[in-house]
Amino acid sequence: MPSGLPVTLRPVTRANVRAVCDLRLGDHQERLVAPAAFTVAEGHYEPGAMLRAIYAGEQPVGVLLVEVETGTPYLVRFMIDAGHQGGGIGREAVARLVAALGAAGWDALETSFLPVEGGAEGFWRRCGFEDTGRTVHGEPVFRRDLRGPAQPPASTTS
């Protein structure tokens, strides 16, 4: 559902933690991504982690967690509430994250996902991530160069 509202990344705070923890995935996604409440809990115990609520306007609609303990930022968790998917909020949130990490001096961002039909691979490719050929826990690791544009140029061919 297209929101048309500005997408921002904000810290998870006492004021928004309940709304963030109440975010839900679609039924078909529950086995692919941990619940938002798990992400919030994990984010508070990871040294140097970046835990952010994803907002559309003034409403939290998603959450992300980036860990940096390996020396390259790793997007451990990324989810958009089921009722807000399909309108570009996720792509815009990734673009904001890429810009923030690039401005902080990082060169790349990595993520991984369960390789299932109808899963997240297409989304990550549309956001400019490329397969590294590596796997972590059976999941392909994708990498995004932070020195380039936030999203790849639109293809003129199908």
Residue 99 falls within a domain, yes or no?
yes
* Token pair of 123 as six digits: 């989304």
Report if residue 123 sits inside a domain. no
* Amino acid found at 158: S
What is residue 28's predicted lDDT score, i.e. its pLDDT? 64
User: Mapping DSSP to helix (H, G, I), strand (E, B) and coil, where does residue 129 land?
Assistant: coil
Token pair 């397969």 is found at: 131
pLDDT digits (tens, 9 = 90+) for 39-56: 999 998 888 899 999 999
The span from the first CA to the last CA of the chain, in angstroms, equals: 24
What residues in the chain have per-residue pLDDT under 70?
A: 1-3, 27-32, 148-158
Beta-bridge partner residues of 112 = 141
Q: What is the CATH number of the domain that holds 38?
A: 3.40.630.30
104 lies in a domain?
yes
Tokens linked to 115: 């390789």
Per-residue pLDDT at 1: 43
Q: Give the residue from 33, 39, 15, 93 showing the smallest Cα distance to 61.
A: 93
Structure pTM? 0.87
Q: Which pLDDT value is given to residue 27?
A: 67
Pairing label, strands 50-56, 130-136: unpaired
Provide the sign of the torsion angle of the four alpha carbons 41, 50, 8, 143, taken in this order.
negative
Domain that holds residue 90: 7-111
Calpha distance 95→82 (Å, rounded): 20
Alpha helix segments (H runs only) across 36-88: 36-43
Q: Is 147 among the domain residues?
A: no
Q: How many domains does the chain have?
A: 1
CB atoms under 10 Å from CB of 117, counted, come to 5
Q: State the Rg of the chain over Cα.
A: 15
